[in-house]
Chains A and B, each alone.
Chain A
Amino acid sequence: MGTLGTDNWQPATFVFSMRWIWIDKFVEFESGRRAVAVKNVTAAEEHLHDHVPGFPVMPECLMIEGMAQTAGILVGQASDFQEKVILAKISKAAFFDYVTPGDSLRIEAQIGTISPEAASTSGRITRGEQLIAEIDLIFSHIDHNLGGKRFPEENFVFTGAITSLLRDFALSGSPSGVRGRESGE
């Protein structure tokens, strides 16, 4: 397992074997501008039985994670996944209703600003017509912000599991060199 903060940082192996994907698919993707992903909430998600017993609701932190993945991929793809993009700050996270099994969430993220060191995004989560959450994030391009610290050469942020979500969109650049095929739209 890795120990963050030492000079010889190794990515923890669980990143590559555990699935930690909180969006199901992208339905819209405008490179460098905005992206929309879908997350379907199912009673088969184990944690819902404990959160909360008798009243399963999707934890807000996982909605933030879904937005972070949507927005993070949007930001990462804007630089052809050459930057290691890491969530650095949650500027705003406001929630307006509970999300329960059977709900289909639409997660929309828009890029606010991108600079060499960081990026800001704004986003909304909706369920049909209803606004569920507003989440604004700041991402850091860590290579630009932690000069001197050595990180693994490969981009450990954007693994195949994440970038395969973009396979339906004709976009350039993924760490494994796989290019999206033409979308039917």
Chain B
Amino acid sequence: MTMSRDEVFQKVQGVLVDALGVEEEEVTANATLMGDLGAESIDFLDIVFRLEKAFAMKVPREELFPAEGLLNNPELISNGKLTAKGLAQLREKVPHTDLTEFEKDPSISKIADLFTVNAIVNYVAGKVNAT
């Protein structure tokens, strides 16, 4: 099944509207899930379930939202920022996310800002068109 990026965006938009109770206009490409759309950790589970249903595919939560696993590892965090090793691991885990801005100041309080609508669309588009 191949879907255009626009089609994927529309569907992801619908999923986020349902899961987070926000208006369609708020779900812009650069909107952050936690900052702009008010998502909390339990919402991430809801989003994963709904994405699986909408796109008829498995979405392992660690693939879509892998940063959570990194946050508890002392080798990867130092003084509230990701170490070089941590950054390398993050880069590996989130090929669907642009890290250039984040890398300038990799503080973990900013990791939440990486979760944008675009990141989800990139991930889903990549997965959907690979099968």
Binding site for B on A (CB under 8 A): 88-89, 91, 112-113, 115, 117-118, 120, 138, 140, 145, 147-148
Contact = CB atoms under 8 A, between A and B. Distances in A.
A88 B49 contact: no
Interface in B33-87: 41-43, 45-46, 48-49, 52-53, 61, 72
A88 B45 contact: yes
Contact of A112 (B19, B42, B49): B49
Contact of A140 (B18, B45, B49): B45
A145 B46 CA distance: 14
7 contacts: A89-B46, A91-B18, A112-B49, A113-B53, A117-B45, A138-B49, A148-B72
Contacts of A91: 18-19, 46
Residues of B in contact with A, size category: 10 to 19
Q: SS class of chain A's interface: helix, strand, loop or mixed?
A: strand
Contacts of B41: 145
A140 B42 contact: yes
Contact of B52 (A88, A113, A138): A113
A113 B49 contact: yes
A88 B46 CA distance: 10
A91 B49 CA distance: 12
